[in-house]
């Protein structure tokens, strides 16, 4: 029996998010600059290395694996990776294999993902207005994403919509989005915009729409019942009594959720981040490339988990972006 991953605060690490690429077919304004420079290919973990890495984490007790990016579905050969990961679902070691996507490629891949044992998918969608969608994503087109979501549903995947709350941008669509999700049977989670990347500090503050505010607006139309469901992550949930729908709020800036954190992230270059909001990282690519067996890799993972910090330092409360991270979300994987 191999000992599971337990951090210094007695939190068991059972959830791994892996970014498989830094590239994307969109250029969302809060995530990327218009002219992003992407990493040279040799810096990225190969699909075989990603397999070894994930398999090692599964061997150390990770039960939930979320694939993200960049846009995970634009990585060449990614379906082979999903097919290979499905062996861990079949063995029972992995309880859930899932992904976060912008939805643009779901039309093409939803059925294959379902065949690999994926049951749920998170799709990021901030607006139902085609013009606004094109503005926010710069390169994205709404009809393609809506068709992708439809394909996911047709393939039997449960869809959760993730919406970044953007002041002055999708504020006026709060009820439209909630009603559309209720009608389509999708869960909905709102995310507070986070100070990531190198985009102007002022922009982030300007767009910051606190979810406490959003929630108060929802309560003007619906009866909200607080739910106790926690997933070990930053989301809190309510049920809208009128529709029965569950709505989540991810508020990394106004609430501290760190005490129940069960997750770590690996970037597409093999850097392990023990906390989304801290710079400390561990290089896993070197041990992966150093030898063919996974002994060094396991040692490096354990050493990193032993220094997982207690929490993050994001704070907007002083009207400046404190604790701002220099890396982009597309590197770490949201």
Q: Residue 32 touches which of ligand SAM, ligand SF4, none (CB < 5 to 8 A by kind)? A: ligand SF4
* CB neighbour burial string for 213-222, b if at least 16 within 10 angstroms, e if fewer: ebbeebeeeb
* CB neighbour burial string for 96-134, b if at least 16 within 10 angstroms, e if fewer: ebbbbbbbbbbbebbbebbebbbeebbbbbbbbbeebbe
**Radius of gyration of the chain from its Cα atoms, rounded to whole angstroms:** 19
63 binds ligand SF4 (CB under 6 A): no
Instruction: Tell the smallest beta-carbon distance from residue 145 to ligand SF4 (Å).
Output: 10
Integer Cα distance of 240 and 243 in angstroms = 6
71 binds ligand SAM (CB under 6 A): yes
Binding mask 173-212 toward ligand SAM (x if CB under 6 A, else -) reads ------------------x-xx-x----------------
28 binds ligand SF4 (CB under 6 A): yes
Q: Binding to ligand SF4 (CB under 6 A): which residues in 122-141? A: 124, 137
Residue closer to ligand SF4 by CB (options 166, 240) is 166
DSSP 105-169: THHHHHHHHHHTT--EEEEE---S-HHHHHHHHSS--HHHHHHHHHHHHHTT-EEEEEEEEBTTT
Binding mask 270-299 toward ligand SF4 (x if CB under 6 A, else -) reads ------------------------------
Among 69, 107, 148, 248, binds ligand SAM (CB under 6 A): 69
Integer Cα distance of 102 and 148 in angstroms = 9
DSSP 20-57: --S--S---TTT--TTPPPPPGGGSPPHHHHHHHHHHH
How many residues would you count in the chain?
334
- The answer to whether 323 and 277 have CB atoms below 8 angstroms apart is yes
Report how many residues bind ligand SF4 under the rule CB under 6 A: 13
Among 26, 57, 222, 273, binds ligand SF4 (CB under 6 A): 26
Q: Residue 162 touches which of ligand SF4, ligand SAM, none (CB < 5 to 8 A by kind)? A: ligand SAM
Residue closer to ligand SAM by CB (options 68, 267) is 68
Q: Which residues bind ligand SAM (CB under 6 A)?
A: 24, 30-31, 68-69, 71, 100-102, 124, 162, 164, 191, 193-194, 196, 329-330, 334
Which parts of this chain interact with ligand SF4 (CB under 6 A)? 24, 26-28, 31-32, 69-71, 102, 124, 137, 330
């Amino acid at each position: 029996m191999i000992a599971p991953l337990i951090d210094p605060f007695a939190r068991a690490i059972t959830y791994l998010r892996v970014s498989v690429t830094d590239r994307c077919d969109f250029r969302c304004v809060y995530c990327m600059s218009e002219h992003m420079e992407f990493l040279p290919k040799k810096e990225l973990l190969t699909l075989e290395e990603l397999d070894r890495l994930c398999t090692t984490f599964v061997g150390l007790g990770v039960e939930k694996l979320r694939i993200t990016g960049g846009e995970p579905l634009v990585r060449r050969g990614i379906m082979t990776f999903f097919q290979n990961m499905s062996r861990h679902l079949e063995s029972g070691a992995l309880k859930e294999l899932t992904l976060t996507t912008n939805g643009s490629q779901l039309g093409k891949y939803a059925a294959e993902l379902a065949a690999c044992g994926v049951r749920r998918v998170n799709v990021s969608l901030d607006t139902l207005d085609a013009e606004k969608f094109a503005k926010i994503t710069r390169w994205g087109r709404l009809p393609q994403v809506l068709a992708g979501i439809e394909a996911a549903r047709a393939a039997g995947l449960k869809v959760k919509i993730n919406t970044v709350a953007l002041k002055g941008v999708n504020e006026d669509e709060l009820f439209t989005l909630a009603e559309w999700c209720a009608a389509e049977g999708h869960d909905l989670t709102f995310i507070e915009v986070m100070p990531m990347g190198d985009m102007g500090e002022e922009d982030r503050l300007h767009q910051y729409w606190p979810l406490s505010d959003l929630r108060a607006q929802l309560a003007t139309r619906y009866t909200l019942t607080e739910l106790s469901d926690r997933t070990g992550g930053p989301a809190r949930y309510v049920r809208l009594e009128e529709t029965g729908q569950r709505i989540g709020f991810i508020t990394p800036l106004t609430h501290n959720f760190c005490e129940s954190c069960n997750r770590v992230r690996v970037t597409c270059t093999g850097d392990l981040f023990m906390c989304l909001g801290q710079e400390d990282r561990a290089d896993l690519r070197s041990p992966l490339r150093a030898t063919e067996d996974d002994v060094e890799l396991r040692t490096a993972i354990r050493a990193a988990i032993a220094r997982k910090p207690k929490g993050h330092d994001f704070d907007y409360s002083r009207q400046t972006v404190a604790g701002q991270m220099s890396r982009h979300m597309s590197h770490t994987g949201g």
